[in-house]
Amino acid sequence: MSKSAIDGPTKGGFSFDLCRRNEMLVKKGLKGPSFLKTGTTIVGLVFQDGVILGADTRATEGPIVADKNCEKIHYIAPNIYCCGAGTAADTEAVTDMVSSQLTLHRYHTGRESRVVTALTLLKSHLFSYQGYVSAALVLGGVDVTGPHLHTIYPHGSTDTLPFATMGSGSLAAMAVFESKYCEGLTRDEGVQLVAEAISSGIFNDLGSGSNVDICVLTKGHKEYLRNHLQPNPRTYISQKGSFSKKTEVLLTKITPLNKLVEVIEGGDAMEE
Amino acid sequence: MGDSQYSFSLTTFSPSGKLVQIEHALTAVGSGQTSLGIKAANGVVVATEKKLPSILVDETSMQKIQILTPNIGVVYSGMGPDFRVLVRKSRKQAEQYHRLYKEPIPVTQLVRETATVMQEFTQSGGVRPFGVSLLVAGFDDKGPQLYQVDPSGSYFSWKASAMGKNVSNAKTFLEKRYTEDMELDDAVHTAILTLKEGFEGQISGKNIEIGIIGNDRKFRVLTPAEVDDYLQEVE
């Protein structure tokens, strides 16, 4: 029989059934599966009109750079965005799921989503998985109650802060914030400070690199500045050879191929 | 034929091959307030009467036309509470589809899934069929579409359709007035005129609801002020 259409509280969370077996396997020498991590620098700060989020764009798999330009600033709601550090699959999946739940919530209530709602949905999910969902998030947005910025740790604890950094490059970025942050920054000052913090992470931390992504959230408006700064441009060799663009073309000669080659009419067809 | 002897149980066929409970559900729909939908060349319009039980009821608090996804809306005739449950379920299914396939759900898919839910309630123990018929209006890659879903779970695509109290008059009126190349604005006017036909009392922006979706693929319910503007154009 189909269940009632009314949704109850979600059941689930981490299942401890296989923990004992896993411990035994590790003792016997089995290496656990490795994941794609976003050894990362992610930051957020509150400025006078709203919130600015920033992130680098490097995704690593151990010592290898797996993605040179990945997107770490995820959409949660039209007025709420979230930067994710940790296992890339986890941050993607968890932000997607909460975004979906908030869309339904918006339809049912007819109201704009609030940052605390996203915060609570994310932290309850992470807590119920006891830290195994390895997602460290910087959540920011502007709703009817004003601009908000929170950090969420993989085990489910949260902080509410005027400026925050997460990821392997967080110390480098925090150093920049601690010395230069002040209340009431303008948009341009805020964007510059965030770019500086992320750049500090990009250049001083091996797990962060490539470009700077920025997202500016104000009341009723959002600006997603993808690749706002590209301090590590990539140069490619042109397929046509390595002549520079200033090379002069002296002669263009086209030789029709049938003058050089014998064309046999009505020969045998090639074997299938 | 002794049909009445088989009308107690939903899951038992009567000798004439009908499921009598579903027939009764359709009767419940037929005694609900009139609603209708028209598919124009560049959009779809749905409209319904919004007769409240007393003048003391705050008419802004309840909305009969609901949005399911940004490009699909729905209206009903029949029992309001049953409609609420279906709307909630459909919205969830549309979101699940979007999460799985990362594309907005096509109108036909959403209609099919909603119809499946309604059919499940005609073949289970201990439940009763939904006492609503739905008109689902949407605009996707296949263009504007209008579907009607019945309590039995069957669904049909319509160019124009009506349900509820005044259904036969309304359908006759629509058959005369409908043209294939109608524009959305004309369709709204025709919808209003059709509602007016069977309307008791003074029609105004406060006692009818109109929902439209055009080429912009954004379903929205018109405000009472906009409805009044259309009403004045029709006069």
- Does residue B130 carry a pLDDT above 70? yes
Closest chain A C-alpha to B127 CA, distance in angstroms? 9
How many angstroms separate the CA atoms of A96 and A84, rounded? 12
Closest chain B C-alpha to A264 CA, distance in angstroms? 52
Q: What is the ipTM of this complex?
A: 0.84
Angle at B162 between CA B158 and CA B165, to 5 degrees: 155
Q: Do B117 and A103 touch (CB under 8 A)?
A: no
pLDDT of residue A188: 95
Q: Do A6 and B88 touch (CB under 8 A)?
A: yes
Q: Do A1 and B127 touch (CB under 8 A)?
A: yes
Q: Do A5 and B99 touch (CB under 8 A)?
A: no
Q: Do B88 and A108 touch (CB under 8 A)?
A: yes
pLDDT in tens, B25-76: 999 999 999 999 999 999 999 999 998 888 898 888 889 999 999 999 999 9
pLDDT in tens, A192-216: 999 999 999 999 998 898 999 999 9
- pTM for the structure as a whole: 0.81
For A260, counting Cβ atoms within 10 Å of its Cβ (0-12 exposed, 13-18 middle, 19+ buried), the class is exposed
Which of A2, A6, A103 is facing B95, going by the closest CB pair? Answer: A103
In B15-152, which ranges are E strands?
35-40, 43-49, 66-69, 72-78, 132-140, 143-149
- The answer to whether A118 touches A141, Cβ cutoff 8 Å, is yes
- The answer to whether B155 touches B112, Cβ cutoff 8 Å, is yes
Q: Does A6 touch chain B (CB under 8 A)?
A: yes
Instruction: Give the residue-averaged pLDDT of B190-210.
Output: 90
Residues of A in contact with B95 (CB under 8 A): 100, 103-104
Which of A2, A5, A97 is facing B88, going by the closest CB pair? Answer: A5
Task: Please name the residue of chain B whose CA is at the shortest distance from the CA of residue A103.
Answer: B95
Q: Does B11 touch chain A (CB under 8 A)?
A: no
For A229, counting Cβ atoms within 10 Å of its Cβ (0-12 exposed, 13-18 middle, 19+ buried), the class is buried
Which residues neighbour B179 within 8 Å (Cβ) at sequence distance 6 or greater? none
pLDDT of residue A255: 80
Q: Does B57 touch chain A (CB under 8 A)?
A: no
**Range 91-110 of A in CB contact (< 8 A) with B:** 96-97, 100, 103-104, 107-108
A40 is catalytic: yes
- The answer to whether A214 touches A57, Cβ cutoff 8 Å, is no
DSSP string across A124-174: HHHHHTTT-S-EEEEEEEEETTEEEEEEE-TTS-EEE-SEEEESTTHHHHH
How many angstroms separate the CA atoms of A111 and B12, rounded? 44
